[in-house]
Amino acid sequence: MKTILQAENVEKVYRVGSVDVAALRGVSLDLEEGEFLAIMGPSGCGKSTLLHLLGGLLTPSGGRIVLDGEDMTAASDAKRTDIRRRKIGFVFQRFNLFPTLTAEGNLRLAERIHAGGAGGAGGNNSERRREVLSLLKLEDKMHHKPLELSGGEQQRVALARAIVNRPAIILADEPTGNLDSENSAIVLNMFQEMNYRFNQTIIMITHNPEAAAMCRRIVQMRDGQIVAPNTGLQV
Ligand SMILES: Nc1ncnc2c1ncn2[C@@H]1O[C@H](COP(=O)(O)OP(=O)(O)OP(=O)(O)O)[C@@H](O)[C@H]1O
Ligand SMILES: [Mg+2]
């Protein structure tokens, strides 16, 4: 098995005015390709901070993060952005969809960003977009803009956007946090299917024990640290 993500003794201190907030106090985590990992823990324990660091949206105050062989910590901002574009699919708790674009337009934009900005060789992946949208039961909503979609549908578009480029890793911050049970089930089934069928690597923050139970491994965090268990709990 191949290690796709390594965090070594990662620390993060936020400075608020003259006060330092230690959000992460030495987190180490190894992730193999094809793992489906849940991160759980009380509010404020550092879950989102960890996810943002793993995906290169933030830089650590200490420690090291290696993503698919590339040291994110040593990389310049530009390099880190480039790695993130190529390897990471983010699902944020707030959907961050582009309001004036349709569902399909949001996917197309993600493809162009992935390919390196508006001038990049984006290619036309309408087939792939259609496939992803239909996997998420959105084929009839393809031409709707975010305001013409329900919350659950918007979350599914956000998920489609995260996976359309087949990133090495999907990082999802409470992807079912705002969803009813029906929409949660669609999102979780989609994750599970991608994990089993395509060996897609996924890290998902969740407060929901049922969602966590679908994952092959669960880590618990408290006060900026991983408390239990950090090794192969196979369900
Ligand atoms: N940009 C920031 N500036 C200062 N402090 C921050 C910032 N972001 C987070 N924090 C603090 O860092 C700690 C960890 O926050 P984080 O968002 O990682 O928690 P979380 O585990 O994701 O919580 P939740 O379950 O509520 O989303 C908290 O004490 C929070 O107040
Ligand atoms: Mg959070």
Res. 128 pLDDT band, cuts 50 70 90: confident
- Residue 233 predicted with pLDDT over 50: no
For residues 128 and 51, what is the distance between their CA atoms, to the nearest angstrom? 27
Could you tell me the residue ranges of all domains in the chain? 3-228
Least confident piece of the model among 59-68, 120-129, 138-147, 178-187: 120-129
Atom of ligand 1 nearest to the CA of 52: 18
pLDDT tens profile 77-91: 999 999 998 899 988
Question: How far apart, in Å, are the Cα atoms of 139 and each of 66, 97, 111?
Answer: 37, 17, 18
Helix, strand and coil percent figures for the chain, each rounded to 5: 35, 30, 35
Average pLDDT estimate for 56-76 = 94
Give yes or no for residue 31 having a pLDDT over 90: yes
- Is pLDDT above 90 for 115? no
CA atoms of 42 and 36, how far apart (whole Å):
20
Residues 91/167, Cβ–Cβ less than 8 Å? no
Could you say which architecture CATH assigns to the domain 3-228? 3-Layer(aba) Sandwich (3.40)
pLDDT in tens, 184-216: 888 898 899 889 888 899 999 999 888 999 898
Model confidence at 235: pLDDT above 50: no
Distance 47 CA to ligand 1 centre (A): 8
230 and 220 Cβ atoms separated by less than 8 Å: no
Q: Which helix (H) or strand (E) holds 91?
A: strand 88-91
Distance (Å) from CA 105 to ligand 1 centroid: 32
Residue nearest atom 12 in ligand 1 by C-alpha distance: 23
**pLDDT for the residue 72:** 93
Higher pLDDT, 94 or 100: 100
Round the average pLDDT of the chain to a whole number and report it: 89
Q: Indicate the pTM of the whole model.
A: 0.88
Q: How confident is the model at residue 127 (pLDDT cuts 50, 70, 90)?
A: confident
Mutate to test the pocket of ligand 1, among 13, 47, 54, 178 (most ligand atoms within 8 A of CB): 47
Q: Which ligand is nearest to the CA of 19?
A: 1
Higher per-residue pLDDT: 116 or 46: 46
Kindly identify the ligand whose nearest atom is closest to the C-alpha of 58: 1
**How large is the average pLDDT for residues 120-132?**
74
Residue % of the chain over a pLDDT of 90: 58
